[in-house]
Amino acid sequence: MIGIYLIIAFIISGILFFNRSTRLNNILLIVYLLVQCFFTLYEYNHLNVIELQYFKPDALGILLLMTLTIVGAAALFHSHLYIKDHQEKPRSRGIYFSAMVMLITAMGAAYLSNHIAVTWIFVEITTLSASALIYHHRNERSLEGTWKYVFICAISVTLIFIGILFLSMAMRQAGSTDLTFDNLLVKASVLNVFWLRLAFLFIFTGFTAKLGLVPMYTAGIDAKDKAPAPAGALFATVLMNMGFVGIFRIYVVISHTTIFAWTNSVIMIAAFLTVFVATVYMVKVKNIKRMLAYSGIEHMGLVMLGLAAGGIGYYAAILHIILHAFVKSSLFFQFSQVYKVFQSKSIYDEGNYFKYNLTGAMVVLIGFICATAMPPSGLFVSEFMIFSAMFKAHQIVVLVLIMILLTMIIWAFGKNIFKLLFTPVEDFDDTHVPKINPLHSLSQFGLIGLSIYLGLNPPIQFVNLIQEAIKNLPH
């Protein structure tokens, strides 16, 4: 099935690239969405069945694939609105949708891949398609964003590749050449620890470019800022989840070796620095879109802290990335409407949003409450579990520092969001403010509602899938 899916998706992407007709474009996108939904359902019903030798839909892959399908459908809908509003030429529309379909497909395949080299190939494809999306506006700024993203991602995929080479050296000692995650897990106890350590360092550093952790987070921020908002929503959520998958699968293997404690401290340091950097920039930043991007960085830091703390932290980490994907993507979708009203990304030019777009302002307000993990946000539940896991792991000092940093983040986030919502801007000419259709905010309400529902009252299948995803980690 995955083979057929990949072929269909790449064909659709190819036709979209060359197609100039609006109607065909819309039909193809709907066909793609249907294929994507059908594929997700199919894989859900074929849990843990190996396909094409290199793909295995395990619980984590399925969870993230479902997230991808939901966020991706909303992203395609908002892209459609975006392209229509900007009256794009057929050529640039073709490139945009072709790249977006390719991006969604590659991420889905990367989630399900069971072989580290296959994951790596799809990570490369996401770099390619993401760069086309970032360069959509074809001006100097977007060129700068694209160049930085391409270059940093090229270095990071090289680092991942070096990590894979070291991993293969670690496997050589175990007398095997099969680099599937299943086989790595079986052989975990006989892997050469020295090479494994190097492999983890390189693979971790490489994937941080996608996941958005210190040290390679920088390129992602520019990308989310310069790409059109619907594409930025994908970069800030599901693309980050892909980085998480890469690190998580290697982490599971390492949890069965003697360097597990060392790995946890590496992750802990990177995660703490990430939250710290996010705080510094959140306080300083004046561009709403970049602020949302930094908030994403902070959440990924928390996820990794949960992973490093262990215990209930594993469960919380996976819950957190899924819920974060829904909340943050809806804020990004909403941002296109904010930009339409104020024609600016800077907080100085924005204010009194409630007056111009009531429904949109409600999305921003609820989205803010959810993104800062205040009740009733679903993220509140996962963050609460992460903190209690850190308590149990006796990381009190880190926890206290993180709490202080989070308070500062909420302060900075709230300051900007409330300015946007309530404070009127002086001499803002509101005669040209367009009327925004409230129905365009519907998907945002849906996504946020879903995140609250999954956090407060998770269905039993959902809980079972998360439990299944973390079953190989030590309890």
Q: Which residues bind another protein (CB under 8 A)?
A: 117, 120-121, 124, 127-128, 131, 135, 139-141, 143-148, 150-151, 154-155, 157-158, 161-162, 164-165, 168-169, 172-173, 177, 179, 192, 194-195, 222, 225-226, 281, 284-287, 290
- Find out whether 31 and 9 touch, Cβ atoms under 8 Å: no
d(CA 444, CA 446): 5
Q: How far apart are CA 167 and CA 242, in angstroms?
A: 20
CA dist 201 and 195 (Å) reads 10
CB of 33 to another protein, least distance (A): 28
CB of 324 to another protein, least distance (A): 22
Nearer to another protein, 66 or 167 (CB): 167
Nearer to another protein, 78 or 226 (CB): 226
The smaller minimum CB distance to another protein, of residues 76 and 123, is found at: 123
Q: How many CB atoms lie within 10 A of CB 429?
A: 7
CA 192 → CA 68, 162, 174, 297, distances in Å?
Answer: 36, 16, 8, 33
Asked if residue 376 has a cis previous peptide bond (ω within 30° of 0), the answer is: yes
b (16+ CB within 10 A) / e for 136-171: beeeeebeebbebbbebbeebbebbbbbbebbbbbb
Min CB(222)–another protein separation in Å = 5
Nearer to another protein, 286 or 415 (CB): 286
Cα separation, 54 vs 63, whole angstroms = 19
- Smallest gap from residue 400 Cβ to another protein (A): 27
Query: Residue 393 carries which side chain, given as an amino acid letter?
Result: A
Least Cβ distance, residue 86 to another protein (angstroms): 20
64, 238 contact by CB (below 8 A): yes
147 vs 418, which CB is nearer to another protein? Answer: 147
Q: Specify the residue, 176 or 388, whose C-beta has the smaller distance to another protein.
A: 176
DSSP code per residue over 166-207: HHHHHHHHTT----BHHHHHHTGGGS-HHHHHHHHHHHHHHH
Quick one: 173 or 344, whose CB is closer to another protein? 173
Q: How far is the CB of 158 from another protein (least distance, A)?
A: 6
Residue 305 or 412 with smaller CB distance to another protein = 412
- The residue count of the chain comes to 475
